[in-house]
Chains A and B, each alone.
Chain A
């Protein structure tokens, strides 16, 4: 009681000061909608000419600032490794997997229809990522969502059976490695790390972008696999709360 009060008593003035300081900082910023900074102006003018890619954010993400994306991709990779380390070590052996099944017929049928649609949507988002909004990260996540639908509409066994962990592990590692390897290939070609050493292709076609396309696909693979692995680990945790081996819910 007294400790809680003391905390509040301290927090209120502190929060007030913090809010004041932050406001003071924000108020001084250029107003909304003011003309773009030099960097944005340069990219708007020159990007398509330089990199032949119509979705400028993709060109920034996979080329101009591709080194950041490498780091970010590895952050995702590391988080998955870390999650696996923490959850696998904290878990007792589960034994048999439950024979759960989606309860309602509506969910089963809608889900069965949705799995291929979502997967296709994901692959489409990756492949057109450098032409229209989207890209490896977004598309990869959508693909991993399709794997999740396997569980929602089907069963846990189906979900794990169709996404075998050794394969997904390998896919995740190779996706991350492929990104770095593309950078190294540029180095081997005598250019700077991650430089666009491949021909840039025709503007507006799927064959444009050169290394951007490669890096985009590498990211898509890595993110999709990372998503599936995280779902594996967390579902495995959830599954432990399901009475074993009786079904998740009685079918009526």
Chain B
């Protein structure tokens, strides 16, 4: 009874029952009641998830809901397979939810119980999504978190831009989840199983065949929509622009990248055996998407003046790096990817909360608009935090993003991938260095034709408030800046824990040995873990990792400077630069129809390539 497996259902049930009870009794509890209850539930989820990380360090926990254990290899019920990676992502969701709830304490003028209810269901959905071992159950949690996210995204519904952004988000994500559902239906039709372990076992030893390949394509596309990989990323910038910042921290910090991790689990548990003969084809297609995400995300982030849109495209670029790590299909690559999800997640969440604080303090979220406005008392900490996030993304060693990226590029051993990763990191770092320099130091010009967007409401998605009003109170400043500070420090310090890279690699090794997990899930017997191939004791970043970091650090400083002062170049250069910029921006035009077309093109291309190469 008191063993750790009891915690497994509670990680999802506690936030959900809190949400349900809040809705039931909201009329009769005091104003701060929902705040406290939601915060307590989020803290509970965090603590339980951390306990699960510790408890599963040697053997994963398989939890069968309703006590329905499999009979002769047939799963009757639904299981959660809790391994350290999934549990740490659940913990990450919990941590960011806590930070976001603390931040919301002072952020919204009037916030009823509905907001807290939705944040809690979003959290429960994310936890379930990262732990579930059943394909349909994964869809259920994905849908739960999506529904909560649509509503939260439209929180400031009376602003016209918000309706547009939230609608784009809802339409594109619904298309994505339906695509996923179609894939699940095909798998079920072919194997009669929804349990990932059982799917993997029943596909074992057969040539994959049409349904499996098409299902894998649809599932990949469906999950990549949520994750925001190019060309499925279009909704991301529009949604992030209009989402209220505390919720944005949850979107950017966890929600998007969780889909990458779930994709990795679905691939290894369900499909890796069936597609074993075609690993190269799977890897190459995913690498193409990853590289496209890194480059498009990085360039677009540089071309935005609005801080929230910058985070959105930085998320696309970082996600590309995560996908690249997964696409290598090696334990070390996946370990690096998982580490990146955690560390980048903390930094991006911090960034979003920081932006919210800046918006509230300086009355705007556009770096050109805010030019030099941060040069006053109280501007040091926000400026330092913003620059710290930028440096983190630019892979300053030996901190978090560096170590994760190092694992991935060392595992790849491909110089061109190292170069791409360095470019992406340099650009995402440069964006926030540039923003920090412009806002808090007043560097660079006030106007820049390359990065302005057609005028919109400058604070889309954020509540109305009197600027500067509360900011003078120290208590208010602390409650607004403490969560991002803690998150940035956590993101930086995590990589200083000794052996953390090896830990992530060994965790990933567990995921990349699906037979072992499947046997444990279906028969309860856990075979010993085979030793990690090519393992030479402790991991230390190799040559390509250092080259990548050096390149990206130097590159980000140069890029930041170049993008601040590029207009001093001659008129011809300016014209030449502005043409492709305009073209790339016009692709991200906010029209749902166009985005859907891009999605269809992506699925068709992926499907065509894989039907030709995987059979």
Residues of chain A having any CB pair with chain B under 8 Å = 7, 10-11, 14-15, 17-18, 21-22, 24-30, 36-40, 42-43, 63-68, 70-72, 74-75, 77-79, 81-86, 88-90, 166, 169-174, 176-177, 180-181, 183-184, 186-187, 190-196
- CB–CB B17/A194 < 8 A: no
Q: With A169-B24, A183-B13, A192-B65 in contact, do A81 and B74 touch (Cβ < 8 Å)?
A: no
The B6-32 residues at the A interface (CB cut-off 8 A) are: 6, 8-10, 13, 16-17, 19-27
Residue contact B604 to A192, C-beta cutoff 8 Å: no
Q: Please name all residues of chain A whose beta carbon is closer than 8 Å to the beta carbon of B19 when the two chains form the complex.
A: 74, 77, 81, 176
- A84 CA to B601 CA, complexed, in Å: 36
Q: If A21-B214, A78-B121, A172-B24 touch, does A195 touch B67 (CB 8 Å cutoff)? A: yes
CB distance B611 to A39 under 8 Å?
no
In the complex, which of the residues A27, A28, A43, A180 contacts B16, with contact meaning CB atoms closer than 8 Å?
A: A180
Asked whether, in the complex, the Cβ of A176 is within 8 Å of the Cβ of B77, the reply is no
Closest to A43 in B: B76
When distances are taken between beta carbons in the complex, the residues of chain A under 8 Å from B25 are 170, 173
Q: Tell me the bound Cα distance from A43 to B76 in angstroms.
A: 9
Identify the closest chain A residue to B13 (Cβ).
A180
Residues of chain A with a CB closer than 8 A to B143's CB: 71, 75
User: Are B157 and A64 in contact (CB-based, < 8 A)?
Assistant: no
Contact (Cβ within 8 A) A26 B211: yes
B571 an interface residue at 8 Å Cβ cutoff?
no
Residue of chain A at shortest CB distance from B26: A169
Kindly provide the distance from the CB of A159 to the nearest chain B CB, expressed in whole angstroms: 20
Task: List residues of B (373-398) whose CB comes within 8 Å of A's CBs.
Answer: none
Bound-state CA distance A77–B26 (Å) is 15
6 nearest A-B pairs in the assembled complex, by CB-CB distance: A37-B192, A173-B24, A82-B151, A25-B214, A28-B210, A193-B9
Stretch of B38-46, B111-119, B322-330 with 4 or more beta carbons under 8 angstroms from chain A: B111-119
Partner of B128, one of A71, A172, A176, A196: A71
What is the CA–CA distance of A125 and B215 in the complex, to the nearest angstrom? 36
Q: Mark B134-166, 1 if CB is under 8 A from A, else 0.
A: 101100110110011011101111100000000
- Which among A10, A25, A83, A176 has the highest number of chain B CB atoms within 10 Å? A25
Residues of A within 8 A of B597 (CB): 7, 10-11, 14
Considering only CB atoms, which chain B residue lies closest to A36 in the complex? B192
Contacts of B63 in A (CB 8 A): 192-193
Question: Which residue in chain B gives the minimum CB-CB distance to A174?
Answer: B24
- CB distance B13 to A86 under 8 Å? no
From B9, B158, B192, contact of A187 by CB (8 A):
B9
Contact B211 A85 (CB under 8 A): no
Bound together, the chains give a CA A92 to CA B8 distance in angstroms of: 44
- Known pairs A15-B600, A22-B214, A71-B140; A82 contacts B74 (CB<8 A): no
SS class of chain B's interface: helix, strand, loop or mixed?
helix
A30→B151 CA distance, assembly (Å): 40
Chain A neighbourhood of B67, CB < 8 A: 191-192, 195
Quick check: B594 and A7 within 8 Å, CB to CB? Answer: yes
Chain A nearest CB from B409 CB (Å) reads 33
The answer to whether B192 and A190 have CB atoms under 8 Å apart is no
Measured in the bound complex, the distance between the Cα atoms of B605 and A155 in whole Å is 54
| Residue from B9, B17, B191 in contact with A181 in the complex, judged by beta carbons closer than 8 Å | B17
Q: What are the residues of chain A within 8 A of B74 when measuring CB–CB?
A: 38-39, 42
Q: A7 to chain B: which residues have CB within 8 Å?
A: 593-594, 597
Contacts A42-B71, A173-B22; A81 near B16 (Cβ below 8 A)? no
Q: Is the CB of B607 within 8 A of A21?
A: yes
Once bound together, how far apart are the Cα atoms of A39 and B136, in whole Å?
A: 15
- Is the Cβ of A29 less than 8 Å from the Cβ of B190? yes
Indicate which residue in A10, A29, A66, A169 contacts B65 across the interface (CB closer than 8 Å): A66
Q: Which chain B residues lie closer than 8 Å to A81 at the CB level?
A: 19, 23, 114, 117-118, 121, 151
Taking CB atoms, residues of chain B closer than 8 Å to A26 are: 186, 210-211, 214
Q: Are B211 and A25 in contact (CB under 8 A)?
A: yes
Say if the beta carbon of B418 comes within 8 Å of chain A.
no
Cβ of A18 and Cβ of B148 under 8 Å apart?
Answer: no
- Give the chain B neighbours of A176 by CB distance below 8 A: 16, 19-20, 23
Could you tell me if A64 and B76 are in contact, using CB atoms closer than 8 angstroms?
yes
Q: A33 vs B27: C-alpha distance in the bound complex, in angstroms?
A: 53
CB-defined contacts of B144 to chain A, threshold 8 Å: 71, 74-75, 78
Closest to A76 in B: B147
Instruction: Indicate if B66 sits at the interface (CB-CB under 8 A).
Output: yes
Chain B residues with CB under 8 A of A174? 20, 24
B1 interface hit (Cβ, 8 Å): yes
Query: Can you give 22 A-B contacts (C-beta < 8 A)?
Result: A7-B593, A10-B601, A14-B597, A17-B604, A21-B217, A21-B611, A25-B215, A27-B210, A67-B78, A68-B78, A71-B144, A81-B117, A85-B154, A89-B155, A170-B24, A177-B20, A180-B13, A180-B16, A180-B20, A193-B13, A193-B65, A194-B66
Q: B435: CB under 8 A from chain A?
A: no
Q: B193 an interface residue at 8 Å Cβ cutoff?
A: yes
For B64, the closest partner residue in chain A by CB is: A192
Q: How far is the CA of A25 from the CA of B210 in the complex (A)?
A: 5
Q: Are B22 and A78 in contact (CB under 8 A)?
A: no
How long is the Cα–Cα vector from A67 to B76 in the complex, in angstroms? 12
Could you tell me the distance between the alpha carbons of A191 and B23 in the complex, rounded to whole angstroms?
Answer: 28
Residues of A within 8 A of B66 (CB): 63-64, 66-67, 186, 192-196
